[in-house]
Each structure stands twice: as structure tokens, then as C-alpha cells.
A = this chain, B = another copy of it.
Amino acid sequence: MSVTIKDVARIAGVSPSTVSRVISNHPRISRATADKVRKIMSDLDYHPNIMAQSLVSKTTNTIAIILPRPAEELFLNLFFAEVIRGIVSQTSKAGYDLLMTSGSSQREEVEAITRLVRGRRIDGVLLLHSRNNDPLIAFLREENFPFVLIGRSPDDQEVLSVDTDNVQASYDAVMHLVMQRHERIGFVNGPPNLTVSQDRMAGYRKALQEQGLEGKPEWIVEGEFLQESGYRAMSFLMNLSERPTALVVTDDVVTFGVLRGLIELGYKVPEDIALVSFNNIALAEMSTPPISSIDIGIYQLGYTASHALLASIQNEGEGKKRVIIPHRLVVRESSLQK
């Protein structure tokens, strides 16, 4: 079969434990033996069996994430790829691997994670979002298993998390529209059970209230992170007798749908209605008109969360409970009065 530590030991004329020590850079090993062993290892093209290492060391150098389920969180198509890039760039620098799993229901997700956690397959978990009464968070806390949430846990302040200040971001979006002299501002939001949606709603409400602006309930549309959601929202919103003159939209992809809907209905952006949205995906800049968007630093979210998770695995505690990645509004044509 494949070459083992024993083969190396035999050929180098040392004991297996010596080889093991060389592998792990044990300090108390003579320079000469180390070099000799290393030479043999590379001659034989030896690579340690990772499973065997894990079995005894009780650590896997692997963290897991759960692939978002379709539909409900499909916005993650873009968010997802970017956040993954951030995560992997951090983990691979630290010598960790990333395991991806999925479940087609909430229950299956918990089962999958249970299998990995109890099966000692992974050292930590990265959660890409949270909702009210999230059973995954409950499970991980109960197991006292290292995990970091990208987002905010509504039920539990003690959860390690890396997040955007979505209340503030949403507030900022509204204020930008207010500065452009808009007074009737609507909101196209995502699924209301997600924490991110709740926070952005709160920021929107806060801004309206502080500015003494009227907020008609029918100006708020809740949907999914899909372009169709934005598209459909327009046929509803633009049929109101009293229409908003500006919209905050919770995701750029949704904004693409919004734009398409408006164009088909014969409206112009920003003349008839101004738009600001979130995430600042690369395509936002290439849209017609280019979309004003709040850049939440998706890559940074992934990178930082991953870093925090590894720290928590290695230090058993310590560290800030909650890290906020700063956001910034990138103003483009879609929200500018001519």
C-alpha cells in the first residue's frame, strides 16, 4: 500500500516515534537525524495519514460550513461565493480544510452537523446566517462546540459572531435618500424570519421615525433574495395610489429584478424612483443605471469569521464576542437626483 511512518523509520534506521517527532517539529531532536529523516520522507514522497493523525490527536484541522438551501437563501449565490473565498483564504493559510455539508430541511441540517460533530470529524463550524430559535445554534451551544456565526443571534448574546451593523447600514441607506429630498421611502426586504431582515427593518424604521417621515405599511414588501421577488414587488408597489419615490432594497440581485420591473412598467430610475441596495456585488456597477449599494465587505466577513473560529478552537474561549465589519455606501446613479 502506501508508505507509512514505519517505512520511513526502517529506511532511516530510526524508530517510528523519531519520525513522528520530525513531522511535528519536535524541539528535542538532533539536527542530523531530522535532516536525514526529512530526506528519506521526501525521497519516498511520504505524506502522513491524516485520519490516523486525527484519531490520536483528536483534532481534525477541518471546519465545516453548511451550504445554504435553495430558494430561501439563494441570494447567497453571490454572497456565498465571496464569503467562501474569504473563509478559505484564511483557513488554508492556517492549514485547515473546509468541509461543506448540506441538508434539505432544517432537521437534516442539524443531523448532518450532529454526525460531523459527534463523529469528531471537524473542529468547528461556521454559520452563514441565523434565524429565531435556530436549532443549530442551540445544538452547538449545548455541545459546547466551537462555532462562529456570520450574522447576529437574536436569542443569544454570548454567541461568537461577525456581522454587519445592519441596523445602522439600513439607517444610512434611508438617510442617503432623505438627503436627496425623498420623503416617501419604501423598503423591499428579505425573508422576515432571518435576523438580517429584522435588523435592516429596524434601521429603516428608526430612520423614518427620527426624520418624522410617514411610513405606509404597504410600502414595505417582504420577499426572498431573488430577482423575481424584486420584479413582483414592483407590480404591487407601483399600483398603489400613493407611491414611494425611493426604495431601499435588501440585496443587489433583488434590485436587478426591481429595475427590470420598473422599466417594463415604463418608469425611469432615478427620475421616477430612486434605489439604494445592499451588498455591492460587482455587477451593481455594470447595471443600467449603476446601482447605489452598501458594501458590507463580504470577503472580509468570511475572512474574519474564519479567523475568529480558528482562534476560538485554539484558545478555548477568549476574544471578542461580537465583531462588526464596517460598511460603506457606494453612491451611483440609481439614487442621484439629476
Contacts and interface: CB of A to CB of B under 8 A. Distances in A.
Contacts of A85: 67, 70
B47 A118 contact: yes
Interface string A86-112: 001100100001111111000000001
Contacts of A81: 76-78, 80-81
State how many copies of this chain the complex holds.
Answer: 2
Q: Which of A45, A55, A257, A286 has the most CB of B within 10 A?
A: A286
Contacts of A287: 256, 260, 288
A133 interface: no
A324 to B, nearest CB: 25
A77 to B, nearest CB: 4
Q: Which of A84, A97, A226, A256 has the most CB of B within 10 A?
A: A97
Given A98-B99, A100-B88, A114 B47 contact: yes
Given A70-B85, A84-B100, A101-B97, A260 B286 contact: yes
Contact of A54 (B51, B89, B226, B288): B51
A51 B120 contact: yes
Given A47-B119, A48-B119, A119-B47, A227 B114 contact: no
Interface string A219-248: 000000011000100000000000000000
Nearest to A263: B288
Contacts of A50: 115-116, 119-121
A118 B112 CA distance: 27
A89 to B, nearest CB: 7
A103 to B, nearest CB: 8
Contacts of A2: 118, 120
B100 A101 contact: no
A60 interface: yes
Given A88-B100, A98-B99, A45 B282 contact: no
A209 interface: no
A294 interface: no
B97 A84 contact: no
A259 interface: yes
Nearest to A112: B92
Contacts of A119: 47-50
Contacts of A46: 118
24 contacts: A2-B120, A47-B115, A49-B120, A50-B119, A55-B55, A76-B81, A78-B78, A78-B81, A88-B101, A97-B99, A97-B116, A99-B99, A99-B100, A100-B100, A226-B282, A231-B286, A253-B282, A253-B283, A256-B286, A256-B287, A259-B288, A260-B287, A283-B283, A287-B288
Given A50-B119, A98-B99, A259-B286, 11 more contacts: A48-B119, A51-B55, A67-B84, A67-B85, A78-B81, A84-B100, A89-B102, A97-B100, A97-B121, A227-B282, A253-B282
| 7 nearest CB pairs, A to B | A47-B118, A50-B119, A256-B286, A51-B54, A260-B286, A77-B81, A50-B121
